[in-house]
Amino acid sequence: KALDKLGASIDISIEKMQNKPHGAKAVILTAYSSEEKLEEVIKTIYSELTKISNKEPSVEELNNVKKSSINGFLALTENSGLLNSILTEAALTNNFDYINSTINNVKNILPADITLTARKYFIL
């Protein structure tokens, strides 16, 4: 919502750094904005990550994000290239219930998990 005010958007993805089941991964956050607003976008991203690390989202906020994430994940299966990526991940992790387990993992996220993850990984 904070980035909407700036006419900016972000894309978050995870890239495998190693081809083994529990290998290192990188979280990549890509921001799309006009060059004039780029500095403000970066400051806004840092500000929002700081807020997340200091205050748990409400259950309603988290449920909305969970629904959106699950719908987005399922939409990936409608694209042959992305479906291939999902199947490759399932094969690499030897988890052929990858789609269901991913959805269940998302459903089981608690508000405290969000804050703890932000504190652990988003060292600003």
- pTM for this predicted structure: 0.72
74-121, pLDDT tens digit by residue?
888 888 888 888 888 888 888 888 888 889 999 999 999 999 988 887
25-82, pLDDT tens digit by residue?
888 889 899 999 999 999 999 999 899 999 999 999 999 999 999 998 888 888 888 8
Burial of 90-122, coded b for 16+ CB within 10 Å and e otherwise, reads beeeeeeebbeebeeeeeebeeeebbeebeeee
